[in-house]
Structure 1
Amino acid sequence: MEIRPAILEDVKEILTILNAASLALLDKGINQWPYPWDEDTLLEQLGFLHVGTVAGKVIATFGIKDLKGWHVGKSGKYLYQIAIQPEYQGKGYGSVITGWACEYARRLGEELYLDCWAGNTKLKDFYSENGFEFVGDFPEEDYYISVFKCKQEG
């Protein structure tokens, strides 16, 4: 998979991927994201969004933005909104994205954090198996999130 910054022409495909991923989560009883996604919200995120392509086709998206404070009380980078077109899930692309993001943050000399709904055991296990260490569970409105940090090399 090739990873690059998202451009304006990618927004429609990113919208399709996020809507498909949101519906797949809702089918599993996981209310992780809004549905349908708002295109204007994605346009505001250009500059933070990235896409993953296979043979030139956009199949994944994620964002990386600056993190100031938040639950960890530190600055760093925040990896968010990782979504892979459902038919490409389970093929290792999530590991490619998290590995790429960790390396990107290391090159910048920053720590990288991400989170998920605390009840999503499968995703928490995935993060732990892919180079992230559990930081803690934190309250968000009427639920808890689990926060993870990319492990330092070595």
Structure 2
Amino acid sequence: MVEIRLAKIDDFSQVVYILNEVTLNLQQKGIQQWEYPWDDNKIINQLKNNYLYVLLVEEEMLGTFCIYDIDNINEFSLDEKGKYLSQIAILPKFQGKNIGSAITEFACFFVKELDKTLYLDCWAGNEKLKQFYSRNGFKYLGDFPEESYFVSIFKYS
């Protein structure tokens, strides 16, 4: 059974481990969206601000993600404050087992309860992930430049 909860300080080292493992895996596939190694201070800040969540299966932490407030995305200015689902990371050996769907379902339910809109992005070249988001109820808004690559932005409302 999947459990999702806010991350605690005790989760810090496992969260960093997951993020670093996923980043290395992405980089091996030529996806450079995240920098390795992760900045500990960034993770601590996410913990302190209650943005960081963890996903557990049978008490084993397999993934992590963030949900935080936003006013704009790239050049989009939003009419009202929305939420941003980001930093979705599932240990590589557990990817493709519907765990990502548990994260998107949780986040969609979370924003629906708040009467907010949810946004997320991914590297524009990741067709598999873009299809996954579309299948999970997200509307594709387009591709936008970010540093030396493009990101695809999605919306759920």
The alignment status of 1:2 with 2:3, answered yes or no, reads: yes
- Listed as ranges, the matches of 1:1-154 within 5 Å are 1-46=2-47, 47-71=50-74, 72-74=76-78, 75-150=81-156, 152=157
The one-letter code matched in structure 2 to 1:91 is K
Identity %: 50
Contact 1:116 1:124 in 2 (8 A): yes
Counterpart contact for 1:48–1:65, Cα < 8 Å: yes
Q: Report the number of matched residues.
A: 151
CA RMSD of aligned residues (A): 1.0
- Aligned mates of 1:70, 1:131 — CA distance in 2: 19
Following the alignment from structure 1 to structure 2, what is the Cα–Cα distance between the partners of residues 86 and 128?
21
How far apart in 2 are the matches of 1:76 and 1:61?
A: 20
TM-score w.r.t. length of structure 1: 0.94
Question: Structure 1, unaligned stretches of length 5 or more?
Answer: none
Contact 1:114 1:147 survives alignment (8 Å): yes
Q: TM-score, normalised by structure 2?
A: 0.92
Identify unmatched segments of 5+ residues in structure 2: none
Give how far 1:98 is off.
0.6
